[in-house]
Amino acid sequence: MTRQIVIPFGPQHPVLPEPLHLDLVMEDERVVEALPSIGYVHRGLEKLVEKRDYKDFVFIAERICGICSFIHGMTYCQAVEGVMDLPVPPRALYLRTVWSELSRLHSHLLWLGLLADSMGFESLFMQSWRLREHILDDLESTTGNRVIQGACKVGGVRHDVSNEKLGSIVAGLDELRPKLDDLVNVFVRDDSVKHRLGGLGVLTEQQAWELGAVGPVLRASGVSNDIRQIGYAAYDELEFTPVVETGGDCYARTMVRAKELFTSIDLIRQAVEKIPEGPVEMKVTGNPWGEFYARSEQPRGEVVHYVKANGTKNLVRFRVRTPTFTNLPPLLAAMKGLQLADVPVVVLSIDPCIGCAER
Amino acid sequence: MAYMKRSPWIIHYDGSSCNGCDIEVLACLTPLYDVERFGIINTGNPKHADIFVVTGSVNEQNREVIRNIYEQMPQPKVVAALGICACSGGVFRECYNVMGGMDKVIPVDVYVPGCPVRPEQIIDGVVKALGVLEEKRARMKAGAPAEVPA
């Protein structure tokens, strides 16, 4: 029998900006088993609800993760609004939709770049991040901040965006579209990309479903599951079909995210066309009492925020189930039998966000 | 700083940050800000690095990792704490698993507050770190230890 050795991967590893630690049990070049150990980024922010006012906690919820921060803030607000049964003004819901989709665009472009970097395709990494700056400019000009926007609040959004500005965002995205086409074309057609990604880290439909994969990982294995279809925010009034691929490998996961770029642009256009006039926030008085689950679709998959309140200004319990945490078991399954050199690519293929997963 | 004499290499470690600062560190390296034109490269090897760029706060689990990276870096070396979490713990200061800013475990030379820090601020912080690096180098040349004991 070949001798088994254990190679530590991380926590400080050049391919990931974040600390993920895996013990890779190897037989020669093959991974037999991958054992994760977590806790490098754990802050314990769920317990902070006991010290913060439920309205102020939006700022903490946004800082669960800096990449999908808007969607975290929004889902927390949805949960509190669910407990308090607040009728949020429709214009606020549409603005939330626009900002969610801009967040998804910037997150997917960021990920496409990181994936290219993990393959050693440096210029593609730079091109992805160059296009991503256009999206960040849109976010900055509408909310005042590039990464953590602070735009959502319980009962609406913090500022209105004029219809002219929304129109110019759509026009900007139309200009961006051919550039995105060129970028995505490289991921779809380039031989070296296909060779690095094709047939790697395969998850069958059965495996992905049973191991609890969510988001693009699940959709890449042929399951049509997109939480935006339950119609939170303004998604019930917009039309889209989830992007589904059947390969189940890293290439399919890349395709799902690449195609979702264009779904997001379409959703932003529809939202801007349909956005109603009116107020963007409502006065929120009193304290919440009860419990609520709010779900939404992050760039990485389904996120669940649970809140429990007892009528005081502090919540009793706040719990988040983040997509990266649920995508870890499928990742570990997909890693069995890999060559060591392919490990970084497969780890990145689930779009790991350790900040989310450990909170 | 009239012109840059050397190409400083940085090593980045995410303490327990939310990612916000980390993606801004990466954004500095990409075409819009492009610090590589000044010879600043993000390296993964502590032995190659001059500037330790660290985000997020300290906790029990990552304390040793941070100290290890710092100790592996050759002298002279500079630590830049990016983001309010690395400076003081920030919004997470009262969390049970946050011990506070980076200065709890390693000596910090440059503090760059902000939540998250903007790329312009990061570049400004790294430029300030370069000044500190030159001072340390001068001290070493004169035969004194690079680090001044606190």
Q: What is the pLDDT of residues A21-77, one digit of tens each?
A: 888 888 888 888 888 887 788 888 888 888 888 888 898 888 888 888 899 999 999
Q: Which residues of A touch B94 (CB under 8 A)?
A: 48, 51
Other CB atoms within 10 A of residue A277 CB: 8
Q: Domain segments of chain A: what residues?
A: 39-338
Q: Are A346 and A328 in contact (CB under 8 A)?
A: no
Q: Closest Cα of chain A to B105: distance in Å? A: 15
In angstroms, the CA A253 to CA A316 distance is 38
pLDDT of A237 reads: 87
Give the least confident one: A82-91, A274-283, B32-41. B32-41
- Tell me B144's DSSP state: S
A51:B12 CB<8 A:
no
CA distance A174 to A185: 17
Digit-coded pLDDT (tens) for B95-126: 888 888 888 888 898 999 888 888 989 888 88
- Give me the architecture of the B9-140 domain, per CATH: 3-Layer(aba) Sandwich (3.40)
Give the 3-state secondary structure percentages of chain B, helix then strand then coil, rounded to 5.
40, 15, 45
Model ipTM? 0.83
pTM: 0.88
pLDDT of residue A1: 64
Residues of chain B with C-beta less than 8 angstroms from the C-beta of A14: 43-45
Architecture of domain A39-338: Orthogonal Bundle (1.10)
- A71 interfaces chain B, CB cutoff of 8 Å: no
What does the pLDDT look like over A209-224, one tens digit per residue?
898 889 899 999 888 8
The residue type of A16 is L
In this predicted structure, what is the pLDDT of residue B150?
A: 60
Q: What kind and span of H or E run contains B9?
A: strand B9-14
For chain B, give every domain's residue range: 9-140
